[in-house]
A = this chain, B = another copy of it.
């Protein structure tokens, strides 16, 4: 678990770092906004603790920049107590949580842990249709809790169907995307593979997610069958 602290008060940064390291985290510190930004881009942190008042670019700017770049690492913002900076503003710029200075160390750790838990379930852009899920990053397919083994070709086919779940896709499109435009073989290959898929993702579960659209192609039921 790696944490980045962006905080210009050196002794505070040092104290927090020591404490968090004692808790078992790996900690990097940055004393300016630009340095922090740079580090955040370099490394995939699990949480960033970001002070608002910083020399150079302030915390809001750092946060907004990261979000604009598509970086959704959980950010915990530190606001001055009765601060001129509003908590709402912190959340608006894309922070996930905030903490008013001065804060108790225990609370800080608790908040960081919470963010980590939350951040865990965040991104993975999983393709879903009902209880049928497919995670391209993990290269894994599930029907509910059951993991289903698919060959590369089957995986690609299901991925394509899932991408257009609920819509019908033509056999031509399927061949173009799954086999490539240059495929010269028997188009019957699609039927064969749809058969394989049904045998793996439908039949054992008494479902019927891959529907035949006669004369057109196939359609994956949006609700997974």
Tell whether, in the assembled complex, residue A43 and residue B181 are in contact, meaning their CB atoms are under 8 Å apart. Answer: yes
Chain A 82-115 residues near chain B, CB threshold 8 A = 104, 106-107, 109-111, 113
- Copies of this subunit: 2
Would A151 and B24 be within 8 Å (CB), given that A69-B104, A107-B70 are in contact? no
Tell whether, in the assembled complex, residue B109 and residue A41 are in contact, meaning their CB atoms are under 8 Å apart. Answer: no
A23 in the interface, Cβ–Cβ < 8 Å? Answer: yes
A215 in the interface, Cβ–Cβ < 8 Å? Answer: yes
Tell whether, in the assembled complex, residue B70 and residue A24 are in contact, meaning their CB atoms are under 8 Å apart. Answer: no
Interface residue total, chain A, C-beta cutoff 8 A: 52
A216 in the interface, Cβ–Cβ < 8 Å? Answer: yes
Inside 8 A of A11's CB, which chain B residues have their CB? none
Q: Pick the contact of A138 from B43, B167, B182 — CB < 8 Å?
A: B167
Tell whether, in the assembled complex, residue A139 and residue B181 are in contact, meaning their CB atoms are under 8 Å apart. Answer: no
Tell whether, in the assembled complex, residue A159 and residue B1 are in contact, meaning their CB atoms are under 8 Å apart. Answer: yes
Closest to A109 in B: B70
Tell whether, in the assembled complex, residue A136 and residue B25 are in contact, meaning their CB atoms are under 8 Å apart. Answer: yes
Would A41 and B106 be within 8 Å (CB), given that A111-B70, A137-B22 are in contact? yes
A208-223 CB mask vs B (1 if < 8 Å, else 0) is 0000011110010000
A44-B173, A70-B109, A138-B168 are known; give 5 further A-B pairs, CB within 8 A: A2-B177, A23-B136, A43-B181, A44-B180, A152-B214
